[in-house]
A and B are shown apart, each in its own frame.
Chain A
Amino acid sequence: MPKVLIIDDSAVMRKIIQRNIQQSGLLVDEFVEAGDGREGLEKATSNNVDLILCDWNMPNMTGIDFVKALRGSGQKNNIPIVMVTTEGGESKIEEAKNSGANGYLTKPFTPDQLKSKLGNFLLVK
């Protein structure tokens, strides 16, 4: 069963995302959490995660720097990354995709929007 890494500097947002996924019927076995890009990089490389959800604006290492670092490392290139962020606009979405993100969801989001976005990467019960 899939393991999902949630990288967000807000513990509340990590809980909301986790709860929404659990209630959505998407199949997830375990959640791993990180509070910034640097911690996210450690967790992504030391855990066998199947999907990464990543905020953009965070202390220490931003989400976009995390994506560039993970993709640039040559490791875990097959793990899909979905940016979940308040950063909207075409240029940001383009930048994220060009850096190696596979999906993009802007906050605030409804549970249905999250399910629809993650449904591309996770199976439904």
Chain B
Amino acid sequence: MAAIEGVIESIASDITSSTKTLFETMIMLDLKYDESSLVDETQIKTDVIGMVSFTGKYHGVIGLFCSKRFALKVASTMLMTELSEFTNDVKDAVGEVSNMIAGNVKTKLTAQYGDMNLSIPIVIAGEGLSITAVNNHPVVSDTTLSCFSKDPWLMTPFISGGEKFNVGLLLKESIK
């Protein structure tokens, strides 16, 4: 059985290649990336989160974390229209971006670890959102997003169009 660290490393690599493919085909913005690292949830501050969860031999969440400015830039590029307001189309575009990254990762994982299921994307937008794992209290309050784990996120930092964004991963082996 592969050690979870190896699986996480392999998925981080899949996230990078899936994000690159997406930007080369449908977003058409330049893309640079750095090495992935573990980031404690308390260090995460963002405006927009696009999340897709997956289940199978491993379960977890793939999340896109970005500024509203970057979300607007991506949505404008995808729709070939200059958007200045944070409309539902912008949230929809962030959801689709998260979905396409996660879908690509899932295809690669399925080949290695068997069939997996993806959720429909969820997009949360606000100002300076943070993430907190609340043990035994799965309550979402204010702009704090409750998460399923206190484990750190494996974050891969990207820069595109002069804006930073991150794609994060939370992963657990499923109990048989």
Which residues of A are interface residues toward B (Cβ below 8 A)?
9-13, 15-16, 19, 57-59, 85-89, 91, 106-110, 113
Which of B102-110, B143-151, B168-176 forms contacts with chain A? B102-110
Which residues of B are interface residues toward A (Cβ below 8 A)?
21-22, 25-26, 75, 78-80, 88-89, 92-93, 95-96, 99-100, 102-104, 106-107, 110-111, 115, 118, 120
Whether the Cβ atoms of A12 and B96 lie closer than 8 Å is: yes
In the assembled complex, the CB of B17 is this many whole angstroms from the nearest CB of chain A, namely 12
Whether the Cβ atoms of A89 and B110 lie closer than 8 Å is: yes
A89 with B107, Cβ < 8 A, contacts A10-B95, A16-B79 known: yes
Whether the Cβ atoms of B21 and A108 lie closer than 8 Å is: yes
What residues on A are CB-neighbors of B92 within 8 Å?
Answer: 10-12
Q: Which 5 A-B pairs have the closest CB atoms?
A: A86-B103, A88-B107, A108-B25, A108-B26, A12-B92
Whether the Cβ atoms of B21 and A58 lie closer than 8 Å is: no
A86 with B100, Cβ < 8 A, contacts A16-B26, A109-B25 known: yes
Whether the Cβ atoms of A86 and B104 lie closer than 8 Å is: yes
Whether the Cβ atoms of A12 and B93 lie closer than 8 Å is: yes
What residues on B are CB-neighbors of A88 within 8 Å?
Answer: 103-104, 106-107
Known: A16-B78, A86-B104. 8 other contacts (CB 8 A): A9-B120, A12-B79, A107-B100, A108-B22, A108-B25, A108-B104, A109-B26, A110-B26
A107 with B120, Cβ < 8 A, contacts A10-B96, A12-B75 known: no
Main secondary structure of the interface of B (DSSP, over half): helix
What residues on B are CB-neighbors of A58 within 8 Å?
Answer: 120
What residues on B are CB-neighbors of A110 within 8 Å?
Answer: 25-26
- Alpha-carbon distance A58/B119, docked complex (angstroms): 9
Main secondary structure of the interface of A (DSSP, over half): loop
Q: Can you offer 11 A-B residue contacts whose CB atoms are under 8 A?
A: A11-B88, A12-B89, A15-B79, A57-B99, A59-B120, A86-B102, A86-B104, A86-B106, A89-B107, A89-B111, A106-B107
What residues on A are CB-neighbors of B78 within 8 Å?
Answer: 12, 16
What residues on A are CB-neighbors of B118 within 8 Å?
Answer: 57, 86-87
Nearest residue in A to B27 (C-beta to C-beta)? A108
| Residue with the greatest number of chain A CB neighbours at <10 A, chosen from B26, B79, B95, B115 | B26
What residues on B are CB-neighbors of A113 within 8 Å?
Answer: 25
- Alpha-carbon distance A13/B22, docked complex (angstroms): 14
Whether the Cβ atoms of A57 and B120 lie closer than 8 Å is: yes
- Alpha-carbon distance A107/B96, docked complex (angstroms): 10
What residues on B are CB-neighbors of A9 within 8 Å?
Answer: 120
In the assembled complex, the CB of A82 is this many whole angstroms from the nearest CB of chain B, namely 17
What residues on B are CB-neighbors of A107 within 8 Å?
Answer: 26, 99-100, 103
In the assembled complex, the CB of A76 is this many whole angstroms from the nearest CB of chain B, namely 26
- Alpha-carbon distance A113/B96, docked complex (angstroms): 18
In the assembled complex, the CB of B58 is this many whole angstroms from the nearest CB of chain A, namely 16
